[in-house]
Amino acid sequence: MTPALAQQAFASDDDEALPGPFGTFERTRDFLHPSIDLNDKTVLVTGGTGSFGKHFVKSVIARFKPKRLIIFSRDELKQYEMAQVFPLETYPFMRYFIGDVRSRDRLEMAMRNVDYVIHAAALKQVPIAEYNPFECIATNVIGAENVVQAAIRCNVKRVIALSTDKAANPVNLYGASKLAADKIFVAANNLAGADGCRFGVVRYGNVVGSRGSVMPFFQKLIAEHADALPITDARMTRFWITLTQGVNLVLSSMELMQGGEIFVPKIPSMSTTELARSLLNGRQAGRALAMLEAVVPTFADLAPDPAFVALQAQFARAYFLRNQDHRALEIIEPVLDAAERGELTAILADALVTKGTALTNVGRVREGMGVIEIGERLARANGLTWTVLRGLNNRLVTFSEVDPKAARDACLDGLALARRIGDRQWMFQFLAGSGLGAYAIGEWDEAVGLWQTSLAEDPEPADRLIPYFSLAVVAAARGEPIPGAADEIARIAAGVSDPQVSWVTVDGPASIASAQGRLAEAVAFWRAGVPDFPSAAHSWLWSSARLSIRLGDAAGARADLAALDERGLHTPHVEAERLAILAGLAAIDGRAAEAIHLYGDAFRALRELGLVFVEAQVAIEMATVLDPGIPEVATAVDSAREVLTRLGARAFLDQLEAATQRQSPPPVPERERSRDTSAV
């Protein structure tokens, strides 16, 4: 191979990012170029009814017009099923040959007038090969010899054999048999002579999601509530490639080959820990936790090996992402100790972010924010950009309760950093967060622009939920028609199990109902969602309490306030909301002077935080439970009217005017209630 061709074949992916959600490798090399031209050529695929063969056929049909495409395999049922997908009536170039690579005669018959052969047939299951060694050798080694002999006798131009990473320094029979096969194909170039058939090998790792691969196997065991997953060693690394990449690599290698090469692509690798992290980053915390609960106890004796410490760190993170913060804190302490003693900086920084976030969730807000910031600083000092972004994001969730304006600005900084390194997942996270921050401080046009930018980037469902829901809520507040919003939010959320995102399925319908004046319905939504989404509970409890006060339900508001106090979260925003609730309760009890005083304190606190829309909502509550003619009430109403007019929040402006006139807001027409958003 010439140096130029070698450079193309083994191009580096060092500048590319590892996958986010498991199984997506959008930014790794696709191996599309160069590619051999299969137009008007005859191609045979041994083992053609397997995962690779089916995807190969699909790709070839989409890109070329072959003279014949021959599927050679021994399973008649699979051939029948494949012929239903690629019928001869639609694809007249397809041929289906029943045969076994153990039969040289059948191979020679199938290879007549064939230009190219892809040898994918093999016994691939490690335990089965160990238990049936003669069969493994007969298919993988003798079968390889038969393919070589048949290809030479039939004057095939080129043959590419599929190998495996297990052929490198093999420790089991399957790997050893594939190593022997690789050597047969490399040596076959000597047998063919200078002008004869050219033989090459493509060697790659685990094909994501293919039949018999580890991920479907793990998923099946998890679904069956298995007590453990059969992982040989927590430190073991697996290399991953998609079926599309595998097919492209074969076509590219067939074009590049001169004979005798073993093509080894540079592809992502993962240990068990990294697999868990990938599931967590892909918002599949439930699946990650199920896997880790089965794996971690198995390798407890490895502690304090760095591989086990890293695994434990992801275990704690999985519990935190499933809103089990106390359990996360239990697990993370020994991780921090081991990481500090072992100078495992990357694990230490990430674990500090996990601990700090869990602390804020259990009410230890300032302590938690300080711990997150320490982890973030450690990550910055050591160039751990991903952990920097995670720390910034997690700290901002609570920071927004302390200083919303500063939180919004910091979120925009995180967005700029995510864009600079090209991380789409964090980009969507910070776009959503920046929008929510702008919304909170009354910069609605800025918020709408950020959310629209996010949706224009075609995000995955998990990243689409928050901007879509947020645009629907703004549209409802502005009194705009929003057909089917609740249904669309539910549809997008159908495949998302991460509670860090799926809270939208509760808050969306509740917020829309609140904007449309259906207060009791909104209260019911929020209260029902509290047990399932603890991280959002404080916001929903104060929202429910405020609307309960407007409905005259003092008992319900008191219950919400008690539940809020039980959570022990004491941030400036929480305290401001608490003052407003106490004011409303005082007003309902007939203690007007006390209520006016408490409302004044609440308005000052909210004004300091810059939460102008919340201030306007509290003014609506105040005008509902106190005489609108009271000077303090009139002043609050005028201020709220100015804010709501600037925001264009017509629906809430109508509620404000109705409160000042001591009448209920006009009911939402039935046709409007049944059309809740897609035109946002």
Give catalytic residue positions: 166
SS3 365: helix
CA–centroid distance for 459 within its chain: 10
In angstroms, rounded to a whole number, what is the distance separating the alpha carbons of residues 403 and 396?
Answer: 9
Task: Return the ∠ at Cα 407 (arms to 401 and 413), rounded to 5°.
Answer: 160
Give, in order, the Cα–Cα distances in Å from 40 to each of 43, 64, 93, 619. 10, 8, 10, 76
Long-range contacts of 527-532 (CB under 8 A, 24+ apart): 527/560, 529/503, 530/563, 532/499, 532/506
Angle made by CA atoms 219, 353, 569, in degrees to the nearest 5: 100
Which regions of 578-618 does DSSP assign to beta strands (E)? none
Tokens of 631: 């000077």
**φ, ψ of residue 31 in degrees (nearest 5):** 60, 25
What does the DSSP 8-state code read for residue 305? Answer: S
Placement of tokens 């969602």 in the chain: 529
Greatest Cα pair distance, the chain, in angstroms, is: 103
Q: State the CB neighbour count (10 A cutoff) for residue 606.
A: 24
DSSP lists the bridge partners of residue 206 as 240
The DSSP code for 98 is E
- Report which of 151, 148, 129, 162 is spatially closest to residue 48, judged by C-alpha positions: 162
Neighbours of 383 (CB within 10 A): 9
Q: Residue 455, class by beta-carbon neighbours within 10 Å (0-12 exposed, 13-18 middle, 19+ buried)? A: middle
Distances (CA, A) of 377 to 191, 329, 358: 62, 21, 18
Helical ranges in 193-232 per DSSP H: 214-223
Q: Are 73 and 46 in contact (CB under 8 A)?
A: yes
**Which own/partner pairs from 145-150 qualify as long-range (CB within 8 Å, at least 24 positions apart)?**
145/184, 146/101, 146/102, 146/103, 146/104, 146/107, 147/46, 147/101, 147/107, 147/117, 147/119, 148/184, 148/185, 148/188, 148/191, 148/199, 149/104, 149/107, 150/104, 150/107, 150/108, 150/110, 150/111
**Which residues are within 8 A (CB) of 287 and not within 5 positions of it... i.e. 6 or more apart?**
219, 222, 279, 497
